Amino acid sequence: MSTQIPSQPVGGIDDRVSPWAVGLAVFAAAMMIINGIIQVFVAISALFNDQIYVAAPQYVYSFDLTTWGWVHLLLGALIAIAGFAVLRGQTWGRVVGITLASLSIIANFLFLPHYPIWSILVIALDVAVIWALAVYQRD
């Protein structure tokens, strides 16, 4: 007589889902966590030493760099938290992750004149995260 152990979710992600879907969810979660932490570092540098960024006085969407620091700090912390929720397999984490990545795209578009290469890189990363979270389906 042998007893079978029922299939249990590992780390919050159901193992009956295709490996590609799980891989995309883990990729999105890892990128969200990394993006969130780096956004916090960008925020700290904007808050404590705003001379590091280029001033753009003729830009239509010009805000104080301290304001941008607070925006990036808040977005970064929330994105990292949502990334941990996605890693645990929480549905709300995916919804919040897509929403926050969308807000991050908008914020980094408006931040383009201050740090253009970094902003474009984060926008591309956010698009990849949105795609990975949107195609992941738990059956």
Task: Annotate 64-133 with three-state secondary structure.
Answer: CHHHHHHHHHHHHHHHHHHHHHHHCCCHHHHHHHHHHHHHHHHHHHHCCCCCHHHHHHHHHHHHHHHHHH
User: In this predicted structure, what is the pLDDT of residue 75?
Assistant: 94
pLDDT of residue 89: 85
- Check residue 61 and give its pLDDT: 63
Q: Are 97 and 30 in contact (CB under 8 A)?
A: no
90: which residues sit within 8 A by CB, 6+ positions away?
12
Helix H or strand E encompassing 45: helix 19-48
Q: If you search the block for the tokens 């969407």, which residue do you land on?
A: 61
Dump pLDDT digits (tens) for 92-109.
Answer: 989 999 999 999 999 989
Task: Give the global pTM.
Answer: 0.76
- Tracing tokens 């239509």 back to the chain, one arrives at 60
Average pLDDT over residues 71-81: 93
CA gap 36, 80 in Å, rounded: 5
* pLDDT recorded at residue 48: 83
Residue 118: its pLDDT value, please? 86
Closest listed residue to residue 114, CA positions, set 30, 73, 58, 38: 58
pLDDT digits (tens, 9 = 90+) for 3-13: 554 444 545 55
- Report the 10 Å Cβ neighbour count for 5: 5
14-73 pLDDT, tens digit per residue, is 555 566 567 788 889 999 999 999 889 888 887 887 666 656 666 666 667 788 889 889
| Residue 90 burial (CB count, 10 A) | 15
